[in-house]
Amino acid sequence: MDFNTRVVAAEAVATPHNAVSPPIFQTSVFAFEDAEAVDQLLSGARPGYSYSRGGNPTFDVLAGLIASLEGAEAAVVAASGTGALTAAILTLAPAPVRLLVSREIYGGTVGLARKVLAPLGYPMEWVDLHDPAAVAAACDGPPAILLAESISNPLGRVAPLDEVIRSAHAASVPVMVDNTFATPYHARPLSWGADVVVHSLTKFIGGHSDLMLGVLAGSPDRMAAARDVVATAGFTPDPFACWLALRGARTLALRMERASANALALAEALQGHPAVRRVYYPGLASHPDYPVARSLLSRGFGAIVSVALDGGYEAVQQMVQRLRLVRFVPSLGDVATTLSHPKVASHRELSLEEQAAVHIEGRVVRISVGIEQAADIIEDFRAALS
Ligand SMILES: *Cc1c(COP(=O)(O)O)cnc(C)c1O
């Protein structure tokens, strides 16, 4: 079945009593007839749930839907995207290894690597995924895992991840791919050979800025280990947030179809604007990764457009103050168009030199394009920029 169908198909959210909307198991714990019954469940001899930190039916309905969308055999839900990234790293590398981190990556991921994992003995090394020799050289050495994004935050870089993954695997380096920007609507990194795919469900999959959640997906063995990490480290989500994510996810295909079409229209409109120095959108022929994006992504190029303004940070401030429809929101993936400023918000974890190396400058804003009428979004920017 096509993605558009799978995302709403009833089988994806199989629930007790054929409830059409999945029930919310808002319970921290489950009761048992006797000690023997608990022993059987905890030893794996019979299926079920005991304590929600270790599992809950509402988590599993959501995990099942995400696994189906990513083409994964299994998935595990976590309390946030960052919790899912941490669980993925600890699953792939329970003892310290080098963390090879893509040069273009979400600042929060850099914070996790630097502030939490480096002090535990996981040294972080930058790697340029657009340079095959650099990837091979980085992978060659002591044990490592590689962290990449299918579409990078914030400048929409799309590295040839199929080749990167082959090269990493040749050196026995597992690869995890953060698929938050692309969503499984546009990209399925497991089909390129990725070992684990990770999402912040807080963004497009939730889609309504009303929850915080994450998910990781991969092989059944890895996900059994990940479930243990999530339960034992306490990265456990909340059942109600999972229900909200399920509700949001059912319209993912429709939302991404509209939002990515709007993003392309906005990117094209802004590209010619005299106040705009540069537009970063992988669906524009002017983007350096346009050929790779066309070969790796499907059904469009996502809903994030970043823009560098000629007038620098001062022009950004003025534009943001003059926008009427589009609000400054330091997140992304809402049904409404929002914008943020990577240098002061999502990427403040990077040093000035690190920011400069990947063009995160005062003049750059990141726009998360929503599902409004494209003409209204474009007009809001035209009026503010004028
Ligand atoms: C927001 C984000 C995260 C972190 O997710 P949280 O749900 O905020 O913890 C990870 N990766 C990317 C690309 C993001 O945009």
pLDDT in tens, 119-174: 999 999 999 999 999 999 999 999 999 999 999 999 999 999 999 999 999 999 99
Q: How much of the chain, in percent, has pLDDT values that exceed 70?
A: 99
> Which residue from 66, 89, 101, 153 has its CB within 8 A of the most atoms of ligand 1, so it is best to mutate?
153
Domain for residue 356, yes or no? yes
Domain for residue 80, yes or no? yes
* pLDDT score at 233: 97
* pLDDT score at 51: 96
Q: Which atom of ligand 1 is nearest to the CA of 181?
A: 13
Tell me the whole-structure pTM to 2 decimals.
0.97
* pLDDT score at 383: 97
Same domain, 91 and 187: yes
For 90, the domain range is: 35-249
Q: Which of 206, 224, 249 is at the close of a domain?
A: 249
Q: Which of 196, 214, 249 is at the close of a domain?
A: 249
Check pocket membership of 203 for ligand 1, CB cut-off 6 A.
Answer: yes
Q: Tell the residue nearest (CA) to atom 4 of ligand 1.
A: 81
Same domain, 100 and 137: yes
Q: Which of 211, 229, 249 is at the close of a domain?
A: 249
CB 177 within 8 Å of CB 197: yes
Same domain, 200 and 229: yes
How does pLDDT run across 239-274, given as a tens digit for each residue? Answer: 999 999 999 999 999 999 999 999 999 999 999 899
Same domain, 303 and 280: yes
CB 344 within 8 Å of CB 380: no
Catalytic residue among 60, 98, 106, 157: 106
Same domain, 226 and 264: no
Classify burial at 304, counting beta carbons within 10 Å of its beta carbon; exposed 0-12, middle 13-18, buried 19 or more.
buried
Structure tokens at 172: 């026995």
How does pLDDT run across 313-369, given as a tens digit for each residue? Answer: 999 999 999 999 999 999 999 999 999 999 999 899 899 999 998 899 999 999 999
Same domain, 238 and 256: no
* pLDDT score at 72: 97
Same domain, 242 and 381: no
Q: What CATH number has the domain bearing residue 150?
A: 3.40.640.10
Domain for residue 140, yes or no? yes
Classify burial at 274, counting beta carbons within 10 Å of its beta carbon; exposed 0-12, middle 13-18, buried 19 or more.
exposed
Cα–Cα dist 46/325, whole Å: 54
**pLDDT level of residue 18 (50, 70, 90 thresholds):** confident
CB 109 within 8 Å of CB 242: no
Same domain, 240 and 276: no
Domain for residue 96, yes or no? yes
* pLDDT score at 11: 63
CA of 342 to the centre of ligand 1 (A): 13
Same domain, 208 and 148: yes
How many domains does the chain fold into?
2
Average pLDDT along the chain: 96
Domain for residue 223, yes or no? yes
* pLDDT score at 250: 94
Cα–Cα dist 54/155, whole Å: 37
Q: What CATH number has the domain bearing residue 313?
A: 3.90.1150.10
Domain for residue 148, yes or no? yes
Same domain, 139 and 286: no
Domain for residue 39, yes or no? yes
* pLDDT score at 13: 62
CA of 338 to the centre of ligand 1 (A): 16
Same domain, 307 and 344: yes
Same domain, 320 and 273: yes
**pLDDT level of residue 12 (50, 70, 90 thresholds):** low
